[in-house]
Amino acid sequence: MLTKTVKCLVLIAVMTLHGCNSAGDHDSSTSRPKASETLTYLTELEETLNQSLEEMNTPFADSVAEAFTNFSRNYPEHEQAPMFLFKAAEIRVNQTGKALFGVVLFQELIERFPESKLAPNALFMIPMTFDAVLGDDTRALKGYREFLNQYPDHEFASEARNLLHLIESSPDDLSKVKEWLKNADSLTN
């Protein structure tokens, strides 16, 4: 863990110094580094971030989510901007106490990049987050319905219908499913 933190700090320091000292590597219309230079940095950050839940709750994961979000906002015309915003949202959803930040980032993706192939996925992830992470059935129901209204033939539509049905089921049915999942989980561990 300490090694990853040190590597992150070194990467950030190098990028900061490089960004301040190399005028030739900057976008001529602004003082920001070129998108390609920033992409290299983001790829290194992503490779360093271990996608385990333990790693998600670290200052390093915060830095990665922030870097991804900043890239999307600083280079909105770049083809990978929606993907980095989506990844930032995923990180936030998996961080304890920060799931709503993820929802906000998914919503931002939908609004800023409505034509992106990730917009429907982001719209699906909003009710999934309310359902699975935040336990807010009311918002999850609303979100699944909105997703199905906008994307009735999307690859996630069947899953959205099943989850919608599950939430609308009687509390006894839901508790049976949770019990079954718990038993299945204990069998695999």
pLDDT digits (tens, 9 = 90+) for 37-58: 777 767 776 766 655 556 777 8
Q: Above 90 in pLDDT, residue 153?
A: yes
Measured in residues, the chain has a length of 189
Q: Above 50 in pLDDT, residue 23?
A: no
Q: d(Cα 179, Cα 40) in Å, to the nearest integer?
A: 45
Residue 174: per-residue pLDDT:
62
Residue 41: per-residue pLDDT:
65
Residue 32: per-residue pLDDT:
65
Q: d(Cα 165, Cα 8) in Å, to the nearest integer?
A: 44
Q: Which residues neighbour 180 within 8 Å (Cβ) at sequence distance 6 or greater?
A: none
Residues pairing with 26 in the sheet: 33
Residue 54: per-residue pLDDT:
65
Q: What are phi and psi of 54, to 5 degrees?
A: -60, -40
Q: Above 50 in pLDDT, residue 16?
A: no
Residue boundaries of the structural domains of the chain: 1-116, 120-189
What does the radius of gyration of the chain's CA atoms come to, in whole angstroms?
Answer: 20
Structure letter (DSSP) for residue 33: B
- pTM beyond 0.95: no
The residue type at 17: L
Mean pLDDT of 132-139: 94
Contact 92, 102 (CB under 8 A): yes
| Highest mean pLDDT (candidates 26-35, 118-127, 168-177) | 118-127
DSSP string, 58-72: SHHHHHHHHHHHHHH
Span 56-108, pLDDT tens digits: 778 888 999 999 999 999 999 999 999 999 999 999 999 999 999 999 999 99
pLDDT band with cut points at 50, 70 and 90 for residue 184: confident
Residue 131: per-residue pLDDT:
94
Residue 127: per-residue pLDDT:
97
Contact 69, 88 (CB under 8 A): yes
Contact 118, 82 (CB under 8 A): yes
Lowest model confidence (mean pLDDT) among 11-20, 68-77, 88-97, 168-177: 11-20
pLDDT band with cut points at 50, 70 and 90 for residue 25: very low
